[in-house]
Amino acid sequence: MFAISPVNHEFDQQIQTNIDSKTKPLGALGELETLALQIAQVLGEVRPQIHRPAMLVFAADHGIAASGVSIAPSEVTTQMVYNFLRGGAAINVFCRQAGFTLEVIDCGIASPIVDEPELINQRLGAGTQPFHRESAMTLGAVKQGFAMAKERVAFHHGQGSNLLAFGEMGIGNTSSAAAIMAAMLNMDVAACVGRGTGIDAQVMARKQMLIEQALHLHRDQLTDPYGVLAAVGGFEIVQMTGAMLAAAEHKMLILVDGFIATAAALVAVAIAPAARDYMIFAHQSDERGHQLMLQHLKAKPLLSLGMRLGEGTGAALALPLVHAASGFYNEMASLQDLGIEI
């Protein structure tokens, strides 16, 4: 059970009056105004400030990847984890620019990495099982993943963070995310499957077929969100879901990245609908299916840059907009101060 309270709407009118009183025509800051309202609802209406924003990148491997559903082999997950640790990936660059602390969490890549003290060990196994043949993981692993993620979020909350962003790395994880989407939204797999790392039409047809096979195989388990995660999830998706729920419990802002992170958000909201209040959707990915997931969550992402990289890159690029929203809310002069009458 999650102790997630919906945001307090008691001060909505006051927050909106503050926004409307700034030195600008009514509504002229567009979506930043909606964002400022949400930030003030979550963090409190008096000078809401973002503190210690942290980007958590969850990495794991997927049994389904051995069936050739990606342009890259599973080894690339580990190679990219090293890249994150050395500071050479897109997410490192964007986090440095945006002022995000970056943390990389091994949720279950193919084999453990040793002698890298910066890498957080939250391994649930050595990659999931191929979900077209058996469950990706046990329900016990889902619960354990939630517990580990909760502890990590509690650590960041204790450090004074009030905004967490979630990214991921895992070859094969668009297959898992598409399967989750189809199961959760009861949609045709064809509408959920996309090109991931850039597969061609032939590979995409196989990917779709394997996911359809999996959803048929696990049909009796797909009636609740935990069952969906166990049947077709990934260790990083499980931990992102648990981390989002834990962040909402702590009343932290949650910055959601692309297709895979949104699949985790979908499951989190199915488990605890109030978690939605804390989520800011950063970027609409180019991955087919993302738009439909966002629609289902009634989310209008801040950016649409045609990216399909994951890693948390969309979320990192959106942080300046979050600062802009809290900044204008806290710092702009009011029409009244200036004696402007409009």
Ligand X SMILES: Cc1cc2nc[nH]c2cc1C
* Residue 309 makes contact with ligand X by CB under 6 A: yes
User: Can you read off the two tokens belonging to residue 16?
Assistant: 């909106």
State the minimum distance, in angstroms, from the CB of residue 102 to ligand X: 14
d(CA 93, CA 309) in angstroms, rounded, equals 14
The verdict on 203 binding ligand X (CB under 6 A) reads no
Name the packing angle between helices 313-331 and 90-98 (round to 10°). 10
> Judged by CB under 6 A, which stretch of 10-18, 136-144, 185-193, 309-317 contacts ligand X?
309-317
- Using CA atoms, how far apart are residues 198 and 204, in angstroms rounded to an integer? 9
d(CA 334, CA 196): 47
Sheet with 253-256: strands ordered across? 120-121, 101-108, 54-60, 163-169, 253-256, 279-281
* Binding of ligand X by 197 (CB under 6 A): yes
Residue of 12, 16, 49, 72 that binds ligand X (CB under 6 A): 72
User: Token pair of 179, please?
Assistant: 């399967």
Task: Give min distance, CB of 48 to ligand X, in A.
Answer: 32
When CB distances are held under 5 to 8 angstroms depending on the partner's kind, the choice from ligand X, ligand NCN, none that residue 242 binds is: none
Between CA 134 and CA 53 the distance in angstroms is 38
Which letter, b or e, does each residue of 321-334 get, where b requires 16 or more Cβ atoms within 10 Å of its Cβ?
Answer: bbbebbebbeebee
Residue 320 one-letter amino acid = P
Q: How many residues bind ligand X (CB under 6 A)?
A: 8
Of 83 and 326, which has the nearer Cβ to ligand NCN?
Answer: 83
Catalytic residue flag (residue 212): no
Alpha-carbon distance 185 to 176, whole Å? 14
Among 32, 56, 148, 169, the residue binding ligand X under the rule CB under 6 A is 169
Closest approach of ligand X to the CB of residue 236, in Å:
11
Of 161 and 173, the one with the shorter C-beta distance to ligand NCN is: 173
Marked catalytic residue, from 33, 249, 311, 331: 311
Residue 252 near which of ligand X, ligand NCN, none (CB within 5-8 Å, type-dependent): none
113 lies in the binding site for ligand X (CB under 6 A) = no
Binding range to ligand X, per CB under 6 A, among 31-39, 47-55, 150-158, 308-316: 308-316
- DSSP code at position 224: S
**Binding footprint of ligand NCN on the chain (CB under 6 A):** 70, 168-175, 196-197, 257-260, 285, 287, 308-311
Task: Establish if 63 lies at the interface with ligand X (CB under 6 A).
Answer: no
Output the DSSP codes for 60-82. E--GGGGGS-SSS-THHHHHHHH
Give the nearer residue to ligand X in terms of CB position, either 49 or 197.
Answer: 197
- What residue 106 binds from ligand X, ligand NCN, none (CB within 5 to 8 A, per partner kind)? none
120-121/54-60 β-pairing:
unpaired
H/E run at residue 52: none
Active-site residues, by number, are 311
List contacts with ligand X (CB under 6 A). 72, 76, 80, 169, 197, 309-311
